[in-house]
A and B are shown apart, each in its own frame.
Chain A
Amino acid sequence: MIDRETLPARVVRILFLGLWLVITIFPLYWIIITSFKTPGAIFSYPLTYWPEVFSFENYIGLFEKAQFGTYIVNSLLVATVAATLATLISMLAAYVLARFEFRSKGALMMAFLVTQMIPAFIALGPLYLMMVQLHLVDNKMGLMLIYIAVCIPFSTIMLRGFFANVPDALEEAAMIDGLSRFGALFKVIVPVMKPGIVAAFIFNFVNCWNELFLSVTLMNRDSNKTIPTALNGFISSFNIDWGSMSAAAVLTILPTMLLFAFASRYIVQGLTAGAVKG
């Protein structure tokens, strides 16, 4: 397929790819190692690249001193509900956009795309005021509603691509057999598209799990904070406690890494599917 590689070229390739792998992995390694050091070991010379004693002190402190358990529950709740509803709503919209031709379709697609170009935080202030009027400030439900709206455009665009790959003969046959379009969608198409839908859900979940600026603006009470909001509070303080900070970072990163490892193939597929045609 590709021309034969000379020995120097091979050495350069392996060296470079190896170096990049080390560079990529190192920050993660470092935060994990830090999180298992005792506070004394974190702030002492010389730096140790492998802790002498593995200590869970930082993790325990996180749950005892800070209400980290509450933050995790909040994040889980908000991200799960928002991602589930956003995925369902996007699925319906994506299905129509993939299967039907209608006058305003181009304009709708454009309206969705524009939200990807202009960040949501551009309207932080007005959004806050609107939520005050709706009595949804400092309210998990309010945050969920906004997250659903923020997730919808991209996951619709992504799912539309997956729908386009499913032949429409499939639901036509089901509808001839007497199912409604809605029934055909859920009984026939959804099972075929499961990987794509799971990928969209995971993508939405991770985005909600990680979201910072909207939740910082809207959530005030400690009992309502999501993990990123709480971490934002940690870094604003004068002296950052890097022990609990790194433990918190590890606990935040791990679930999303596991989910992404599971779904990355489909997310990459969704991102690149159309782009490679040109």
Chain B
Amino acid sequence: MTRTLTETLERPQTAGAPAGPPTGIRSSRKRSFTVRKGLTILAFMAPAILFVAVFIYYPMLSGSQMAFRNWNLSNLTDTSFVGLKNFQTIFADPVFYTVLRNTLVWVVGSIIPQLVIGFAIALWLRRKFRFRGLYQALIFFPWAISGFLIGILFRWMFNSEFGVINDLLQKAGLIHTPIPWLADPTTAMIAVTIANVWYGVTFFSIMILAALQSVPDELFEAAALDGAGKVRTLFQITIPYIRMTLALTILLRVIWIFNFPDIIWAMTGGGPANQTHIVTTWMIQTTQRGDYGMASAIGLIIVAILIVFSAFYLLAIREKKAVQS
């Protein structure tokens, strides 16, 4: 995902060639474009295209018109076109604004600690030490677990009566009475975000470590010769050098966390009283109630938010690049 996205996004700046029609084909390729080649491409691509078209794109597109209909599984006699009524209902619902605020807290509260801790780990892992391979394998293990199970693990640890987190906090003298973590909206939001930070640091440390390893050593040597301190080297050499990778990794993560309902689903189910829903868990719950019209409308809102955010973000990082070069 990251690989091609990086390529696709960077190509216009680096090579000036759009991702679409072939411009710089090698001559041997040009000569060999025959019916036979066309058939090969078709035959090899057909199964993949078929599956993705039928089971992903068709439901997605046919679903978007439901957003403008009265479409509820509990009453299928009336599935008439209602225009923007579903959207009006959503915008009039106070839960929607709680959900938006929670989504913002969830994304920002997760991504900043993930980035900072992930960056620190990556920096420290650049230095070779004994058992570094083993250490990496161990800290990368959360990756193997699904978000849903992570949620279950943390739900148990945040249990108010027999949860280990309250027990440890009490042993450390930080609290005197157990905190009912998941029963209170504020602490529940904190708890799910902590679980997500724990889960996501790995991804950042992997991506940043890979990016750091691409920085030529000469740069650091030159910086050291010029007497630049560690902090200065970090902010004036390392970060600018990997800026593009960093920016794209953050974008991917924002989209991904925004779309990531599993942990909240398992830990609180959006509760208590809808107070920890983010926009995707809210949508899934609406789907499960059978209100497909409303769920599709929320789905379209999700897609709109993602597109607008990504467009602004990409514009912002591109501008910066243009200014600096």
Chain B residues within an 8 Å CB radius of A2: 126-127, 220
Interface pair B47/A92, CB less than 8 Å apart: yes
**Within residues 99 to 128 of chain B, which ones have a CB less than 8 A from any CB in chain A?**
117, 120-121, 124-127
Chain B residues within an 8 Å CB radius of A260: 141, 143-144
Q: Does A176 contact B (CB under 8 A)?
A: no
Interface pair A275/B248, CB less than 8 Å apart: yes
Q: Which of B242, B259, B310 has the most CB of A within 10 A?
A: B259
Q: Which residue of A lies closest to B203 (CB)?
A: A271
Q: Does A47 contact B (CB under 8 A)?
A: yes
Q: Which residue of B lies closest to A245 (CB)?
A: B152
User: Please, what's the 1-or-0 string for A1-39, where 1 marks a CB less than 8 Å from any CB in chain B?
Assistant: 111010000000100110011011101101100100000
Q: How many residues of A contact B (CB 8 A)?
A: 105
Interface pair B144/A206, CB less than 8 Å apart: yes
Interface pair B2/A272, CB less than 8 Å apart: yes
Q: Which residue of B lies closest to A96 (CB)?
A: B44
Interface pair A157/B4, CB less than 8 Å apart: yes
A157 contact from B1, B152, B154, B245, Cβ within 8 A? B1
Cα distance A16–B120 in the bound complex, in angstroms: 9
Q: Does A188 contact B (CB under 8 A)?
A: no
Interface pair A212/B54, CB less than 8 Å apart: no
Q: Which residue of A lies closest to B267 (CB)?
A: A235
Q: Which residue of A lies closest to B220 (CB)?
A: A2
Interface pair A271/B3, CB less than 8 Å apart: yes
Q: Does A190 contact B (CB under 8 A)?
A: no
Interface pair B4/A274, CB less than 8 Å apart: yes
Given A30-B156, A109-B19, decide whether A149 and B141 contact each other with a Cβ distance below 8 A.
Answer: no
Q: Interface-forming stretch among B81-89, B90-98, B183-191, B211-219?
A: B211-219
Cα distance A278–B230 in the bound complex, in angstroms: 23
Cα distance A274–B210 in the bound complex, in angstroms: 10
Q: Which of A20, A21, A90, A275 has the most CB of B within 10 A?
A: A275
Given A101-B25, A235-B152, decide whether A117 and B145 contact each other with a Cβ distance below 8 A.
Answer: no
Given A2-B126, A89-B47, A276-B245, decide whether A101 and B22 contact each other with a Cβ distance below 8 A.
Answer: yes
Cα distance A276–B164 in the bound complex, in angstroms: 40
Q: Does A53 contact B (CB under 8 A)?
A: no
Task: Quote the shortest CB–CB distance from B53 to chain A (angstroms).
Answer: 9
Interface pair B162/A123, CB less than 8 Å apart: no
Q: Does A173 contact B (CB under 8 A)?
A: no
Chain B residues within an 8 Å CB radius of A157: 1, 3-4
Task: Quote the shortest CB–CB distance from B317 to chain A (angstroms).
Answer: 11
Chain B residues within an 8 Å CB radius of A209: 146
Q: Does B302 contact A (CB under 8 A)?
A: yes
**Within residues 102 to 152 of chain A, which ones have a CB less than 8 A from any CB in chain B?**
102-103, 105-113, 115-127, 129-130, 145-146, 148-150, 152
Q: Interface-forming stretch among A63-71, A193-201, A246-254?
A: A246-254
Q: Which of A119, A158, A209 has the most CB of B within 10 A?
A: A119
**Within residues 258 to 317 of chain B, which ones have a CB less than 8 A from any CB in chain A?**
259, 261-262, 265-266, 269, 280, 283-284, 287-288, 292, 295-296, 299, 302-303, 306, 310
Q: Which residue of A lies closest to B211 (CB)?
A: A276
Task: Quote the shortest CB–CB distance from A44 to chain B (angstroms).
Answer: 8
Q: Can you add 20 more A-B contacts, CB < 8 Å, to A161-B3, A256-B146, A276-B245?
A: A17-B125, A17-B135, A24-B138, A42-B162, A89-B47, A109-B4, A113-B4, A117-B310, A121-B283, A122-B302, A125-B66, A125-B292, A127-B63, A235-B152, A252-B149, A257-B144, A272-B210, A274-B4, A275-B6, A277-B214
Q: Could you pull out 5 A-B pairs where Cβ atoms are within 8 angstroms?
A: A17-B125, A47-B167, A89-B47, A103-B22, A210-B145
Give the 6 A-B CB pairs with smallest separation, nearest first: A274-B3, A210-B146, A149-B55, A126-B63, A106-B19, A101-B22
